[in-house]
Amino acid sequence: MPTQRYDGLPSGLMGNVELTLPGSIAVNAQGRRFVNEATNYHDLNRVFGTTDPRSGRRANAPAWLVFDQSYLDRYAIAGSTPGTVEEWMVSADTPAGLARACGIDPAGLEETLLQFNADARIGVDTEFGRGASEQDRHLGDPANAPNPCLAPVEKAPFYAVPVHAGVLGTAGGLRTDLDGRVLDGHGTPIDGLYAAGNCSATVFHDDYPGGGATLGSAITRGFAVGEHLAATAHAAG
């Protein structure tokens, strides 16, 4: 969403719901889908770092959320009112016209929609398995059958919104022991220095078990830090 700003700088809004709902796809400049759009945002973000070996550039950036009039009428996009065409939406009467307006390969987008729409009608994404898991379906539309994450993109006019990788949390940070003590380069605890939450290395080893995982681990590690500090203070008399 180009109008969104944070601290005076261009920002955006999370798009994982829009990517999951039926009647939309995400494509790269070649007009090709490159991921299961309904996957969790942690893993989805990884594919934006994929490098095209031929050009040495990022293969899936920029990317576009492509949807049709049926989708626009039913769902909000980046906080918009359903049915409202916002100034930051690109629109065209045909997929090829939309592709040209966005700098996407027209033939690639048309071929992608042909395959995707055929899959959507039977409710099975043969390319990426979108909507096959309960995790995928969590943010889908339960009223949409047979797959809450799949519907054809076919009703003109067609629309597109740019999608970029973003930063929500961390997967790195300071290494700690079980008591939350920060470790130096040799794995030795640094006296008096503790860390918990996103400033410390994730306990999930760069995986995503589910929503709130960072909060749960932060609270647990914070409790461990408190216990260790209390025990240390008690031992010191």
Residues 174-198 have pLDDT tens digits of: 999 999 999 999 999 999 999 998 8
Task: Verify that 188 and 99 share a domain, yes or no.
Answer: no
Task: Please give the distance of CA 65 from its chain centroid, rounded to a whole number.
Answer: 12
Domain-ending residue, one of 136, 163, 190: 163
Task: Verify that 134 and 191 share a domain, yes or no.
Answer: no
Task: Verify that 110 and 222 share a domain, yes or no.
Answer: no
Residues 149-168 have pLDDT tens digits of: 999 999 999 999 999 887 76
Question: Domain residues for 31?
Answer: 5-163
Q: What is the CA radius of gyration of the chain?
A: 22
Task: Verify that 137 and 190 share a domain, yes or no.
Answer: no
For 125, the token pair is 């994404």
The predicted model scores a pTM of 0.80
Task: Verify that 186 and 149 share a domain, yes or no.
Answer: no
Lowest-confidence segment of 55-64, 77-86, 161-170 by average pLDDT: 161-170
Question: What is the per-residue pLDDT for 170?
Answer: 66
Q: Would 25 be classed as within a structural domain?
A: yes
Lowest-confidence segment of 57-61, 173-177, 222-226 by average pLDDT: 57-61
Residues 15-28 have pLDDT tens digits of: 789 999 999 999 99
Task: Please give the distance of CA 57 from its chain centroid, rounded to a whole number.
Answer: 20
Domain count, the chain: 2
